A = this chain, B = another copy of it.
C-alpha cells in the first residue's frame, strides 16, 4: 500500500505540473486574443466571427482525434476560452456606427437593462445622457439635442413616460425596451412623428456582452432612419429578429408570461403542500436540482418585475386559464386510468414538436453534463 500511495503521489505531481503549464498557456492565449480585440476595435470589425470560430474548432477536433482524445472535450474547453476572450475583447470598446449621432438619451438608464445600453453606447464613443425620475425638470434642453431616445423604465411606467416625450426633434429615433410591444409602440407613434422602433432585448441583466443574444425589433416608422441603430446592435454582437408587435406579444405570452406565471404557481404549490425543501435538495441529482434551480431563482428576484410582466397584458389571462383547464382535462385521463388516451395525446404533441424534440433532447444531454460540473 505504501508503494501505491507513493506511485499515486508521483502521478499527481505530474498532473500538477501539466496543470501549471496549462494555466501559463491560457494566460498566453488570453494575451493574444486581447491583441485581436484591440486590433478589431480600431477598425470596427465585429468581435464574434462565426466562420473563424467554426474553422478553429474543426482544426482542433481533428487534431484531438489524431492524438486519441475526445474531441468534445477540446471543443468544450475552447468554447469556454472563446467566451472569456469575447468578454476581454469587449473591454476594448466598439466601433461607432454613426459618428454624426448627437446625443443618446436613455430614460431609466440607471436600471439594470438601461445600464447595459448606457455602457455599450459609451464604449462605442457616443455621448450618452441618462434621465431618471428626478431629472425631468432639467431634461428639456437635453431632449432637444437628442438623436436617439431609449425608454428603459418598468413596464407599468412606460406609457406615462412615452407620453411626456412628445416634443422630440423630428429626426430623433424613439425606441423602448419593454418586454411587451403593442401598447408601447402605439404610445410612441402617438407621441412622436419621427422614426419609431420597439425593441425587446431577449436577455436579462446578467449577460456579459450581447454576443449570441437576440434583440427583437418591431417596426414603427422610418426604418431607413433607424437602420444604423440596428447596425450598432449587430456590432455589439446581437442578432436582430424583426417581427410584428402583435406576433411578438402573442409569442411572449406563450413563453415568457406563461412560464413565469406557472413557475410562480409551482413555487406557491410547493410551499402550500408543505414540501420539505431541504429534503428535496438532498435527494436531487443534477437534473432535479436544475428543475428546482429554475423555480427557486425566480423568488430571489424582484416580485414587481414579474408581476409587471404578468399583469401588463390582460389578454394573457384567458390563455392561461385555457392552460389550467387543459391541465385538469389531462388529469382526468390519469384519474380514469386512461393511459391510452394519455399516450395518444403525448404522441400527437411529439409529432407537433417534430425534429425539435430530438434536437432539444440532444442539447439537454449536453446541458445536464454541464450541470454535473456545477459544484
Which residues of B have CB within 8 Å of A289? Answer: 363
A128 to B74, CA, bound (A): 36
- 6 interchain residue pairs of minimum CB distance: A296-B360, A202-B285, A300-B357, A300-B361, A303-B346, A27-B67
Shortest CB-to-CB span from A230 to chain B, Å, is 16
Listed stretches A5-13, A94-102, A134-142; interface member: A5-13
Let me know if A11 and B26 touch, CB within 8 A. Answer: no
Let me know if B317 and A334 touch, CB within 8 A. Answer: yes
Which residues of B have CB within 8 Å of A69? Answer: 23, 26-27, 30
Listed stretches A57-65, A117-125, A145-153; interface member: A57-65
A76 to B73, CA, bound (A): 12
Give the contacts of A249-295 with B (CB-CB under 8 A).
Answer: 251, 254-256, 258-259, 261-262, 264-273, 275-277, 279-295
Which residues of B have CB within 8 Å of A80? Answer: 73, 76-77, 80, 373
Give the contacts of A321-367 with B (CB-CB under 8 A).
Answer: 321-324, 326-328, 330-331, 334-335, 337, 339, 342-343, 345-350, 352-354, 356-361, 363-367
Contact residue among B299, B346, B354, B369 (Cβ-Cβ distance under 8 Å from A83):
B369
Tell yes or no: A133 within 8 A of B by CB.
no
Contact of A266 with B262 at beta-carbon distance under 8 Å, contacts A23-B60, A83-B369, A371-B367 already known:
yes
